[in-house]
Amino acid sequence: MVKLSVIVPFYNVQQYAPDTLRSLRSNARDDFEFIFVDDCSKDGTPGILEQAARDMPGAVHLTHEQNGGLATARNTGIDAARGEYLTFLDGDDWLAPGYLPQLVDTIEDFGCDFLRVDHVQCTGRSRTVSRVPHGPRGVVMRPRDAILPSTRSTSVDYAYAWAGVYHRRLVEQGLLHFRDGLRTAEDRPWIWRLHREAESFAVAGLLGVFYRRGVASSLTQIGDVRQLDFIRAFDQVIEETAVDADADQLLPKAVRTYCAIISHHLGSIERFEPPVARKLKAMGAAALKRMPQDILEEALDSIDIERATRLRRLRRRSVPAQEVAA
């Protein structure tokens, strides 16, 4: 049986794909499989993946006929995966040698549904360790017990899918797939659902994922309309959390986080194309009006005056229907 499936979406990353693939080879094992999902790349990425699939034991190369985005590409990989455990990597990131065997050994020692780990952020030559914002390490817990408090960063704010490993039973329970078509913030409703509905998780101080930041082709660097998918993503978080048995406790955290993300985008609105900036303001205003207003008001009262003022001003904005339409 395949022990671990590693799902790696690629899109126009010919400059970085060779490093990614070399790092996977340094983690190969007879019972590991590597699922490469080419999301309709237009550069030299497909040829690089075709060669890697021929040369690399356990490699599977899948191709999308149309670009579907990261969430859809990951879902393609999940559907093809045969492993007892699944993990992810992005096509422009890389792994330390021997990291994946350690990852599998650690989750098997804990026997939990999913494991979260730290990672290294790489910007040019700079390296910074980013840690899971969760105090207890090496302790198996109920994931929903790690969502709160609402006033500080917690495990649901560390939404990187590739910073961990997941037992196949989460696939069978319908908890591991992403929302098809989301171009950004796809990890947010996903991590919230895992924490609300999975039974057990743990955090380990295992460092082996290198996350490349500042890539020019990365969607986080591009100010186009795809960035606004964060609104669909957080609407889903609010909608699903609102019907949870502990909604009264969890919704303040979800609303406060949503507000923080809207404010963050407004604070860097100059990077958006002018029509997208206008659409961001309209969709942000509509989102604030959709939130539970009593919880929203409490959230605005609890954050700093600059962000609160920015969001209150936005909430007062009139929203023509045509500006909110996707």
Q: How many helices (H) does the chain have, and how many strands (E)? A: 12, 11
Residue 254, token pair as written in the block: 């979800």
pLDDT (tens place) for every residue of the chain, 326 residues total: 999 999 999 999 999 999 999 999 999 999 999 999 999 999 999 999 999 999 999 999 999 999 999 999 999 999 999 999 999 999 999 999 999 999 999 999 999 999 999 999 999 999 999 999 999 999 999 999 999 999 999 999 999 999 999 999 999 999 999 999 999 999 999 999 999 999 999 999 999 999 999 765 544 445 678 899 999 999 999 999 999 999 999 999 999 999 999 999 999 999 999 999 999 999 999 999 999 999 999 999 999 999 999 999 999 998 765 555 55
First to last CA, the chain: 44
Could you tell me the pTM of the whole model?
A: 0.94
Tell me the Ramachandran region of residue 200: left when phi exceeds 0, alpha when psi lies from -120 to 50, beta otherwise. Answer: beta
The answer to whether domain 4-220 has CATH 3.40.50.1000 is no
- 38: β partners: 10, 63
- For the chain, domain boundaries: 4-220, 223-324
Distances (CA, A) of 95 to 91, 163, 194, 274, 278: 11, 11, 24, 38, 39
Question: How deeply is 198 buried, as exposed, middle or buried, from its count of CB atoms within 10 A (0-12, 13-18, 19+)?
Answer: buried
- 246: β partners: none
